[in-house]
Amino acid sequence: RPNSTLKWTLNNEAPKLGKDKTRSLIQEAFGDWARYAPLKFREAEAGEKTDFSISFQTGEHDDGYPFDGSGGTLAHAFFPTDGKVHFDATEDWTDKYVDGAGYNFRLVASHQIGHALGLPHSRDPKSLMFPFYQLIQPQDLLPKDDRAFIRALYATSATNKPTTFRATTVKTTAATKKTTTQTQTLSDDRCARFFDAVFGGSDNWLYTLDYDIVWRNYQGQWDPQGLPITDVFPGAEPHMMAGIVSPVTKKIYLFKGRRVWRFSPPNTLDSGFPKHLFGTGTPFNPVAALYEKKHIWLLKGGLLFKFHEDDIRYEDDKPPKRLNEQFPGVPADVRTAFTYEGKHYFFTEPDRK
Ligand SMILES: [Zn+2]
Ligand SMILES: [Zn+2]
């Protein structure tokens, strides 16, 4: 329906924000998409037929996807042409763009409107359509991946791009000494899933392992399709648990069970691998590998195990470090994590209350 005006209606409001604030944030959220596609949106007048029906709900609300109280699922939307967008009324909604001060309503609304417009989740951790809530500053909307997707979906050419909007991107480069941490929670459990492993390196590649398929991203551009893991990493097995590119040796390590695979650029399995890792208390199936303080750390059960690259072993003569000792504020129940462009990303399971 390009070039037509789509109409939305707001049925109730976020108690904490009030009706006027909720309405203006919804307007901004629609604006995020209208800026990059030939789409127009406006609030419906009384009695008009609407394309999007927005409401705040609690618990069971007759669509088969009950909300779960504070935390966990924040909102959900239905793909076209249903147009229903529901927000969990019990969440701590905010209009502020700071971590730890509630969920930014405009960002979650934009994500849900993306779904209502037909967008699936993105595998790009910087995108708005990534299935986990994360703080994005308003001047960074829309991220590149989302722009490309809405343009492709609504068949607009790049020449339609607006001239009045300038996005400033704050980049943390791999060379930056200081690393920042981010904790993220599942924003929507209807279509979200976890990948086995996500990792990237200073070589501008990001690898996403999804059982036996690898999705690669090179300098922001995704492969048109997933590749069999054995094509990308000859000798690897399906369902690898963690991976990392060593910034020092540029070698790629994949972990599964108590074994490690090591690849030399361009992704050739080193002889003698996979190797078994021995030692008392070595973690079975680490959930993630992180690079910090010149070492690889394997994460399992809220503990960090130091992995020595030079002699391929866990450090088992010292007790493992607690995750929140190394990264204060990060909860112990991290489901997966990765280091990408100098930032550590931590993902937790949604709270079930
Ligand atoms: Zn619902
Ligand atoms: Zn979603």
pLDDT digits (tens, 9 = 90+) for 192-228: 344 667 787 666 788 888 778 888 877 767 676 778 8
Give pLDDT tens digits for 244-287: 988 888 899 999 988 999 999 888 999 999 998 876 667 888 88
Give the C-alpha separation, 340 to 353, whole Å.
31
- Report CA(116)–ligand 2 centroid distance (Å): 10
Please give the distance, rounded to the nearest whole angstrom, from the Cα atom of residue 15 to the centre of ligand 2.
23
Superfamily of domain 5-160: Collagenase (Catalytic Domain) (3.40.390.10)
pLDDT attached to residue 24: 97
13 annotated as ligand-binding: no
Of the ligands numbered here, which is closest to the C-alpha atom of 128?
Answer: 2
**Candidate ranges 33-42, 73-82, 305-314; pick with highest mean pLDDT:** 33-42
State the average pLDDT for the chain: 78
**Cα 63 to middle of ligand 1, angstroms:** 5
Mean pLDDT of 337-341: 72
Distance 188 CA to ligand 2 centre (A): 5
Is the ipTM, as predicted for this complex, more than 0.85?
yes
Handedness of CA 185, 188, 189, 193 (dihedral sign): negative
Model pLDDT for residues 136-153, shown as the tens digit of each residue: 999 999 999 999 999 888
Distance 115 CA to ligand 2 centre (A): 7
Instruction: Decide whether 5-160 matches 180-348 in CATH topology.
Output: no
The structural domains of the chain, with segments of one domain joined by +, span 5-160, 180-348
User: What count of other Cβ atoms lies within 10 Å of the Cβ of residue 287?
Assistant: 21
Q: Which ligand is nearest to the CA of 112?
A: 2
Strand, coil or helix: what is 208?
A: strand
Fold of domain 180-348: Hemopexin (2.110.10)
d(CA 236, CA 240): 8
Tell me the pLDDT tens digit for each residue of 11-53.
999 988 999 999 999 999 999 999 998 889 999 998 888 999 9
Q: CA 196: distance to chain centroid? A: 13
Q: What is the pLDDT of residue 36?
A: 92
